[in-house]
């Protein structure tokens, strides 16, 4: 415990799944946490659980594709906790879109609005507070789908995650001399609401069994990687890519 003592973090998509696991782990390690999501009821439940366990958390309604929401989220963070040290751009969607010639323009635009534009807007909103402190850690959650093409139904999802990966490298290079780090994590198949909503149980089981480590990932598997990149243990790490994928691409 205490790896994030004195730190303040905004985590998007923190009302459930990976974001919820990250928020609770961060609190356990001493951080004050802002749970940011469009799911108000679920997000407030996470905050209540953290606060009842002795932590300090705040919920803010955040549509990551809206500049106004980001401005309000950062303002609420600074008003409540007085600083911002960590941004985890975790929120994402997957529509199960089809092949390039089959998907709609609307599907493409929505995927990029949440999965690529969202982290850009978040980074832009968080940077002034981090620059004022002379330090900060930005962790973007991409995907192994952003590392290769798709024969099936992750055309726009993978493209948006690839864009996020490149954006992370640019951010890292541009702000390293200001004490701000940016890194990206590539999760493999993780047993979350998003996967369960788009993949049938039999197929999910088969995917897990076919991984070298023999199972699907759990939200906490990703959360521990995020914790490392948020903590001072990774103070000499920026512009890096961390695959947490059960050995998918050994």
Which alpha helices (H) appear in the chain, and where do they start and end? 17-28, 40-52, 67-81, 105-112, 118-133, 155-175, 193-198, 201-210, 219-230
* 61: phi then psi, degrees, rounded to nearest 5: -70, 125
224 annotated active-site: no
CB-based contacts of 45-52 (< 8 A; 24+ apart in sequence): 45/15, 46/14, 46/15, 46/16, 46/20, 49/24, 50/23, 50/24
136, 84 contact by CB (below 8 A): yes
* Residue 124 CB contacts under 8 Å (≥ 6 apart), including other chains: 70
CB 243 within 8 A of CB 161: no
Selecting among 157, 224, 228, 249, the annotated active-site residue is 157
Total residue length of the chain: 250
Tokens of 229: 């990149």
116, 114, 42, 15 alpha-carbon torsion, rounded to 10°: -10
- Work out the end-to-end distance of the chain between its first and last CA atoms, rounded to an integer number of angstroms: 32
Q: Give the catalytic positions in this structure.
A: 157
């Amino acid at each position: 415990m205490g790896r994030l003592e004195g730190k303040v973090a905004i985590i998007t998509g923190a009302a459930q799944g990976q974001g919820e696991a990250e928020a609770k782990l961060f609190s356990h390690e001493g951080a004050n946490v802002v749970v940011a999501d469009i799911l108000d009821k679920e997000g407030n439940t996470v905050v209540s659980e953290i606060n009842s366990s002795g932590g300090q958390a705040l919920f803010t309604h955040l549509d990551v594709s809206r500049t106004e929401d980001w401005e309000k989220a950062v303002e609420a963070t600074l008003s409540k906790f007085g600083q911002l040290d960590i941004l985890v751009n975790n929120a994402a969607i997957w529509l199960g879109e089809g092949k390039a010639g089959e998907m709609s323009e609307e599907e493409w635009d929505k995927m990029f609005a949440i999965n690529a534009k969202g982290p850009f807007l978040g980074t832009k909103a968080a940077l002034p507070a981090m620059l004022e402190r002379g330090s900060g850690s930005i962790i973007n959650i991409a995907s192994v789908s952003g590392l290769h093409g798709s024969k099936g139904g992750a055309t726009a999802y993978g493209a948006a995650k690839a864009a996020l990966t490149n954006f992370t490298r640019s951010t890292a290079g541009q702000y390293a001399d200001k004490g701000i780090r940016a890194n990206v994590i590539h999760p493999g198949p993780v047993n979350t609401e998003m996967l369960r909503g788009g993949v049938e149980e039999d197929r999910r089981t088969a995917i897990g069994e076919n991984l070298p480590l023999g199972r699907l990932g759990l939200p906490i598997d990703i959360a521990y990687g995020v914790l490392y990149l948020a903590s001072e243990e990774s103070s000499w790490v920026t512009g890096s890519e961390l695959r947490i994928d059960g050995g998918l691409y050994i």
